[in-house]
């Protein structure tokens, strides 16, 4: 004899496929739960992957804190860096210059391209502690001294730039001098040599930034020995608000301290909101499946009225009869959870292969890097999210069987067998 409770045994027996309309509804219910769980797992995992990869790319290229002097370039930055570096939470600090320029390529044949990237001036010896640039060179070398230039992979591709090419850069200094001298002839622009092409894995950075030495960037902007500010890297980037508060007290109101969370708050907040909204919207798929379970079990209770009456007459309690139909809802939910989990994991494992097939088949990008910033579809499987999705789906299915179970449990043997 089976050691399973008779309520569960009857529930399993009643769920066996039969050529009836109720079996069709039950199959649709299982399919609904399966699709709901699978779609939620896929969407939530992809959104979590977006969030994690975006944070990793931001933190790999941008500083955790930036310190500037509003309205002025920073002259006394060396003592400031020493003070900042004394904080035990600070990993490294380095001065920077950043401004938008006009860049003109000089191809051997044809007309040059004109672009407007952001030039960032760095100190090469300190950059390994500030960003992933030194380890992100895909072509050429990490060299920016003596008017050397590093350009992003997307920027190089869009403008036909290769290592060894020379480009001209026009900054605000050239336009100021031209305007001051009232000279009708165009100024002679400084030339830079492309020494390397970097790929940090995020389209916006690879397409909009070029890197040179701090001295050359200062010269481009007529800064002399001053800089635009100081970049600060922390041992733990999520300690940025704490370090900001400490440095604000130390440095005073003269300096503006901003965290990477502030600089990217709109993008990061949008991802969190989108993830939550997608969860609530897609959760309605499982509510529809629960309504199918409700419909199937109500029909089933009507069909099994005679059997329910016999069970009551043989001594089954209201709770035991109700447990039969609750078990059916629970079993449908569990089966849907298992199948949905398997389908979701399979789809996540082959997500990028599926995108490539769709791109080749239909001839357009379903996941363009210029919009989303990543060349591959990211995904992060968070056990807590999986547990929440599968658990909530199972509870919804269990609740779907609550009304039919309550109705079956209240049936009186006399009423159930009156016309038998």
**Which candidate, 312, 278, 286, 280, places its Cα nearest to that of 398?**
286
The span from the CA of 350 to the CA of 342, in Å, is 13
Helix, coil or strand: residue 91: strand
Give whole-number Cα distances, 248 to 7, 223, 240, 251, in Å: 67, 25, 12, 5
The pLDDT of 127-141, averaged and rounded, is 89
Tens of pLDDT, residues 71-128: 888 888 888 999 998 989 999 999 999 988 888 887 666 667 788 899 999 998 888 8
Domain residue limits, the chain:
6-56+267-417, 63-263
Q: What is the mean pLDDT of residues 117-146?
A: 89
Reply yes or no on whether the pLDDT at 418 is more than 70: no
Higher pLDDT, 177 or 112: 112
pLDDT at 25 over 90: no
pLDDT at 376 over 70: yes
Match 């082959």 to its residue by tokens.
Answer: 350
Structure tokens at 369: 């890097």
Q: What is the pLDDT of residues 281-305, one digit of tens each?
A: 877 877 777 777 777 777 766 666 6
Span 396-417, mean pLDDT? 71
Q: pLDDT class for 157, splitting at 50, 70, 90? A: confident
Closest C-alpha among 203, 208, 377, 404 to residue 300:
404
Q: Decide: 63 and 130 in contact? Cβ < 8 Å.
A: yes
Tokens of 353: 């292969």
225-269 residue pLDDT tens: 889 999 999 999 889 999 999 999 988 888 899 998 888 877 778
For the residues of 206-251, what is the DSSP string, one character each? HHHEEEEEHHHHHHHTT-TT-BSEEEEEESSGGGHHHHHHHHHHHH
Indicate if the alpha-carbon torsion angle 135, 141, 146, 152 is positive or negative: negative
Phi and psi at 195, nearest 5°, equal -100, -25
Q: Is 330 left (phi over 0), alpha (psi -120 to 50) or beta?
A: alpha
What burial class does residue 109 get, using C-beta atoms within 10 Å of its C-beta: 0-12 exposed, 13-18 middle, 19+ buried?
A: exposed
Question: Can you tell me the distance from the alpha carbon of 64 to that of 257, in angstroms, rounded to the nearest whole number?
Answer: 10
Name 326's Cβ contacts closer than 8 Å, sequence gap at least 6: 398, 401, 402, 405
Q: What is the DSSP letter of 133?
A: G
- With 80 as the cut, is the pLDDT of residue 159 above it? yes
What is the pLDDT at residue 109?
A: 61
Record the tokens describing residue 248, joined without a space.
Answer: 């604000």
Q: Tell me the C-alpha to C-alpha distance, in Å, between residue 15 and each of 10, 170, 302, 310.
A: 9, 75, 15, 20
pTM of the predicted model as reported, rounded to 2 decimal places: 0.71
């Amino acid at each position: 004899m089976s050691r399973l409770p008779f309520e569960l045994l009857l529930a399993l027996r009643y769920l066996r496929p039969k050529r009836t309309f109720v079996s069709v509804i039950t199959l649709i219910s299982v399919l609904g739960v399966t699709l709901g769980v699978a779609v939620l797992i896929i969407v939530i995992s992809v959104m979590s992957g977006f969030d994690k990869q975006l944070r990793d790319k931001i933190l790999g290229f941008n500083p955790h804190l930036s310190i500037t002097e509003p309205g002025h370039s920073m002259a006394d930055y060396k003592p400031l860096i020493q003070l900042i570096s004394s904080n035990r939470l600070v990993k490294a600090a380095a001065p920077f210059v950043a401004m938008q320029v006009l860049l003109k390529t000089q191809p051997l044949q044809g007309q040059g391209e004109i672009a407007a990237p952001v030039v960032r001036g760095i100190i090469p010896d300190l950059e390994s502690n500030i960003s992933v640039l030194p380890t992100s060179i895909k072509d050429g070398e990490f060299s920016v001294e003596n008017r050397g230039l590093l350009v992003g992979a997307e920027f190089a591709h869009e403008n036909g730039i290769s290592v060894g090419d020379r480009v001209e850069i026009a900054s605000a200094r050239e336009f100021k001098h031209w305007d001051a001298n009232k000279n009708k002839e165009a100024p002679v622009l400084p030339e830079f040599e492309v020494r390397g092409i970097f790929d940090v894995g995020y389209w916006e950075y690879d397409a909009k930034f070029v890197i040179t030495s701090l001295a050359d960037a200062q010269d481009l902007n007529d800064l002399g020995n001053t800089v635009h500010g100081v970049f600060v890297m922390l041992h733990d980037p999520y300690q940025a608000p704490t370090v900001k508060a400490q440095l604000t007290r130390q440095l005073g109101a003269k300096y503006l301290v901003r965290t990477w969370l502030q600089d990217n708050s709109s993008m990061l907040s949008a991802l969190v909101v989108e993830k939550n909204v997608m969860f609530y919207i897609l959760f309605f798929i499982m509510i529809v499946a629960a309504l199918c379970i409700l419909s199937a079990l109500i029909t089933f209770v009507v069909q099994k009225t005679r059997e329910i009456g016999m069970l009551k007459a043989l001594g089954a309690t209201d709770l035991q009869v109700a447990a039969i139909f609750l078990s059916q809802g629970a079993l449908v939910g569990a089966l849907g959870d298992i199948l949905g989990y398997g389908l979701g994991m399979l789809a996540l494992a082959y997500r990028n292969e599926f995108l490539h097939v769709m791109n080749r088949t239909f001839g357009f990008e379903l996941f363009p890097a210029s919009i989303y910033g990543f060349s591959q579809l990211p995904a992060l499987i968070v056990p807590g999210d999986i547990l929440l999705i599968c658990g909530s789906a199972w509870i919804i299915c269990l609740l779907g069987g609550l009304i039919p179970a309550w109705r079956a449990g209240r049936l009186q043997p006399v009423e159930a067998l009156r016309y038998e």
